[in-house]
């Protein structure tokens, strides 16, 4: 009976591992399917170190099983004494030199990629006319959302990072409250966002996201930051440089956009009275807002970073954001009438810059 019970425990464990590991193959989220040069370099290091680990394990287990089979007491007898190799300079040299060699094999590419991936000297490069040669994005992590500023273009967005493919994108990372960590698993490793200092690095995006399952890469906060840490997601849209330039131009066209209390659109009027004090509907400006910029709300993939992007979830979020993201700083608007909530949701879903 105990033998059968152990068998079923093993089957249950394997089934659980199958479910857990099934997420490793999602292209929009998996570090094992890198979609950028940085992610590929880091993946190559992973393959190298994993290969060395497997080699060491294979050698150790081979020696173990050979010794187990060749030197069994039943085979050699109780009186057999193995050869005394204590003090053997040859053996001591071998088992000292091999680990050192393996460490060197891992250390050389690790040090090389550390300096390569940490080189952000081109971030400040400009052409003869003084224009920035590379795209720079200022990322500000907040409880529990992300703000993305494109300083050279004078635009700001939130919750969805939009970047061109085929070039290095440089990031300035900082936090406005507590420590967070910026991570796009399929693109490259994470880097902390601190309150008092700016961390800098770059990523490259080799594939357009439009063909992915949800049309976006997934970004995460990789540092425990509070009760809604697991829900502090953002999405990444990658597109060709030409399409990115069109997106930037469309964002700039929202300059001066606002909501009017006198608007014939009931949603716009209700938004102006209840939401405009914190949320901007123009992408032109600087970072530092107390709440996410909503200029592209209708283009987004998710509501609040993780809810399905539809009208009902928009209404539910406005009514009681604490229910869905405990600890976030947005107050509940459960005092609004159903008509106002419905109108505001329609207004938000119509805020778009993409065709």
3 state SS of 336: coil
Q: What is the pLDDT of residue 7?
A: 59
Q: What is the pLDDT of residue 269?
A: 95
Q: What is the DSSP letter of 176?
A: S
Closest CA relative to residue 320, chosen from 333, 307, 329: 333
Q: What is the pLDDT of residue 1?
A: 52
Task: Report the predicted TM-score, pTM, of the whole model to 2 decimal places.
Answer: 0.86
Q: Which residues contact 197 (CB under 8 A, 6 or more apart)?
A: 174
pLDDT, tens only, 177-209: 999 999 999 999 999 999 999 999 999 999 999
Q: What is the pLDDT of residue 87?
A: 78
Q: What is the pLDDT of residue 243?
A: 97
The answer to whether the peptide bond before residue 331 is cis (omega within 30 degrees of 0) is no
Q: What is the pLDDT of residue 91?
A: 84
Q: What is the pLDDT of residue 22?
A: 55
Q: Looking at domain 135-349, what is its CATH homologous superfamily? A: Cupredoxins -  blue copper proteins (2.60.40.420)
Domain boundaries along the sequence of the chain: 135-349
What are the CA-CA distances from residue 273 to residues 22, 279, 338, 352 (Å)? 47, 11, 15, 21
Residues of the chain scoring pLDDT < 50: none
Determine how many CB atoms are found less than 10 A away from the CB of residue 136.
19
Q: What is the pLDDT of residue 20?
A: 59
Q: What is the pLDDT of residue 19?
A: 58
Q: What is the pLDDT of residue 79?
A: 74
3 state SS of 274: helix
Q: Which residues contact 268 (CB under 8 A, 6 or more apart)?
A: 259, 260, 347
Exposed / middle / buried, residue 209 (Cβ in 10 Å: 0-12, 13-18, 19+)? buried
């Amino acid at each position: 009976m105990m033998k059968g019970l152990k068998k079923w425990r093993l089957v249950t464990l394997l089934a659980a591992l199958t479910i857990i590991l099934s997420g490793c193959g999602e292209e929009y989220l998996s570090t094992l399917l890198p979609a950028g040069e940085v992610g590929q370099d880091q993946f190559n290091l992973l393959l190298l170190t994993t290969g060395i680990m497997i080699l060491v394990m294979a050698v150790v287990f081979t020696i173990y099983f050979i010794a187990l089979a060749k030197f069994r007491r039943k085979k050699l007898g109780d009186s057999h004494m193995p050869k005394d190799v204590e003090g053997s300079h040859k053996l001591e040299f071998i088992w000292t030199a091999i680990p050192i060699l393996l460490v060197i094999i891992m250390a050389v590419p690790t040090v090389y990629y550390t300096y390569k991936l940490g080189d952000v000297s081109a971030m400040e490069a400009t052409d003869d006319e003084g224009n920035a040669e590379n795209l720079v994005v200022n990322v500000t992590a907040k409880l529990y959302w992300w703000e993305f500023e494109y300083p050279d273009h004078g635009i700001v967005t939130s919750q969805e990072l939009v970047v061109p493919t085929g070039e290095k994108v440089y990031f300035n990372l900082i936090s406005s409250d507590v420590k967070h960590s910026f991570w796009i698993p399929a693109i490259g490793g994470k880097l902390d966002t601190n309150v008092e200092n700016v961390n800098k690095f770059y990523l490259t995006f080799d594939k357009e996201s439009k063909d992915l399952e949800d049309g976006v890469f997934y970004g995460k906060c990789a540092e425990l930051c509070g009760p809604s840490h697991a829900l502090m997601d953002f999405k990444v849209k990658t597109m060709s440089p030409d399409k990115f330039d069109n997106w930037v131009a469309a964002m700039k066209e929202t300059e001066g956009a606002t909501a009017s209390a006198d608007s014939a659109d009931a949603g716009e009027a209700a938004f102006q009275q209840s939401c405009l004090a914190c949320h901007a509907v123009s992408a032109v400006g600087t970072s530092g807002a107390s709440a996410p910029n909503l200029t592209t709300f209708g283009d987004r993939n998710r509501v609040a970073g993780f809810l399905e992007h539809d009208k009902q979830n928009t209404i539910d979020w406005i009514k009681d954001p604490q229910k869905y993201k405990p600890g976030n700083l947005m107050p509940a608007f459960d005092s609004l009438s159903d008509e106002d909530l419905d109108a505001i949701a329609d207004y938000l879903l119509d805020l778009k810059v993409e065709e």
